Amino acid sequence: MNSKERFQKTINRETPDRAPLYVSVTPQVALKLCNKLNEPYQEPLDSMLSTRASHMDLIAKLGADAVGITVCAPINNPTIELGDSIIKNEWGMIFKDTGKYNEFHEFPLAHAQTAKDIEEYGFPDPFAIGRWDAAQKTIDKYGKTHGIIADLETTLFETAWYLVGLEKFMMDMMMEADYINPLLDKIQFIHTEYGKKLIELGADVLWCGDDFGSQTSLMMDPDSFRRYFKPRIKAMFAEFKNVNPNIKLAWHSCGAIKTIIPDFIEVGLDILNPIQPLATGMEPQELKDTFGKELIFFGGMCVQDLLPNGTPEEIKAEAIRRAGILGKDGGYIIAPAHNIQEDTSVENILALFEVVKQM
């Protein structure tokens, strides 16, 4: 069974020979792996979601069964450097390059108060030339041999607060500020068009997401999620299924989100990610017992403690344990619960690839 067959069996709720593997890494980890393995280093894509789809040649060569594609900045509106390690992307978000992750520096809609503020803002053109070049290149290379996961995270909530600022957006949402719905509607339109194009290109899974959970609880009350986000997610999912009824829809939400998992099932979710191991209520056996008939699970390998601090033997044992629970009778894509970070050794990373290939 090759990687593509293994991946497709899994997302179609059939039992493969073993759980398929997907891995994403930070640029620092990619460089460390390339230096260790004497492989060429490839610069990250120009995308807000670059870690999910960059370095895929390296990841595939190491043994991943699925590779990522995503939306990139177009030719006429690339991310630009403003000096002093400050960068600005096509959304107008301004970050400071800290050498590991880009930290928020300015929120371009921090002034927003009214619907007119949204109408007058310059949002990205979802149809701009060059946006899909990198995705097409990856599909041309791996589409017949590997699963294709199209990343569309920061789907609604996160893009909104990236523009406005988290504290302001949360407060204004509670106060029913005039601009909230127009802003979410605009983001919904852009990301719906992005998702439809990624599906048309040949994705097997469309991986949407917003982090609605903290380590111990939801970031907002369930009623707010159900008022502002659930109807929009439902509408987006319907449009995606209209493009390809067989597309599998994944959602990424870090944290303790068990309360709203039934809501995601209700709107048509197929795959839940990332099953954050140290978050409250995200234990694998309970999730499998409660939601295993409705959902495929994707993720589950801890990047907060196990991968950076465990031994290769501990990593292998936990991968086998999780695959045995979440992958019983199929339905599990094994993956780190987020991008593998620079604090993780090459030996521990290679241990994950090694154990999955031996399952």
Taking only the tens place, the pLDDT of each residue in 144-182 is: 999 999 999 999 999 999 999 999 999 999 999 999 999
The closest of 164, 157, 155, 225 to 191, measured between CA atoms, is 155
Share of the chain above pLDDT 90, in %: 97
CA distance 102 to 105: 9
What 3-state class would DSSP assign to 272?
strand
Average confidence (pLDDT) over 125-136: 97
pLDDT confidence bin for 101, thresholds 50/70/90? confident
CA distance 192 to 209: 13
Taking only the tens place, the pLDDT of each residue in 12-42 is: 999 999 999 999 999 999 999 999 999 999 9
The closest of 184, 205, 191, 166 to 12, measured between CA atoms, is 205
Taking only the tens place, the pLDDT of each residue in 309-359 is: 999 999 999 999 999 999 998 899 999 999 999 999 999 999 999 999 999
What pLDDT score does 330 carry?
87
**Residue that is written with structure tokens 């007058």 in the block:** 120
The closest of 239, 226, 230, 231 to 190, measured between CA atoms, is 239
Taking only the tens place, the pLDDT of each residue in 281-305 is: 999 999 999 999 999 999 999 999 9
CB 87 within 8 A of CB 97: yes
* Whether residue 204 has pLDDT greater than 80: yes
CA distance 353 to 84: 38
What pLDDT score does 200 carry?
98
Enumerate domains of the chain plus CATH numbers.
Answer: 3-81+117-358 (3.20.20.210)
**Residue that is written with structure tokens 């659930």 in the block:** 230
What pLDDT score does 102 carry?
85
- Beta strands, E only, 107-170: 147-153
- Cis omega (within 30 of 0) for bond into 277: no
Average pLDDT, the chain: 97
- Phi-psi region for residue 21, left (φ > 0), alpha (ψ -120 to 50) or beta? beta
What pLDDT score does 327 carry?
94
CA distance 255 to 258: 9
- Cα three-residue angle 10-313-27, rounded to 5 degrees: 70
**Residue that is written with structure tokens 């609604």 in the block:** 156
What pLDDT score does 97 carry?
85
Lookup: tokens for 132:
């899909």
